[in-house]
Amino acid sequence: MAFAEALRAPVRVVVEEGTDLYDVPSRVYEACDEAGVKVNHAAPELMKRISDAAGDAVSGREVQEDLLVGVTTDGEMTVRKSREVAREE
């Protein structure tokens, strides 16, 4: 279900391995602005939710595995590891 929601989300941001977690909110907000979607989280909460959802794919501030961040039209966010996305496609 979460995977299907991520694919239907109008905002999908790929966060590449090696990205500083502090750079992610601006990328998500920019993509949301372009799609006319409002994300329901301030930057610190957005980073925490991504870090928590990504588990071992984030260490400290470094993204250690590609992630797919989706934002639905309701502003809800989903986070998937790239290998999970590849397996389910």
Q: Of 84, 81, 73, 87, whose CA–CA distance to 5 is shortest? A: 73
Q: What is the pLDDT of residues 15-68, one digit of tens each?
A: 999 999 999 999 999 999 999 999 989 999 999 999 999 999 999 999 999 999
Q: What residues make up the domain containing 28?
A: 2-88
- The shares of helix, strand and coil residues in the chain, as percent rounded to the nearest 5, are 50, 20, 30
How many alpha carbons fall within 13 Å on the CB side of residue 24?
34
Q: Model confidence at 1, in pLDDT bands (50, 70, 90)? A: very low
Task: Report strand pairing: 11-15 vs 77-81.
Answer: unpaired
Counting the structural domains of the chain, the total is 1
What CATH code is carried by the domain that includes residue 28? 3.30.470
Whether the model pTM is above 0.85:
no
Q: What pLDDT is recorded for position 9?
A: 75
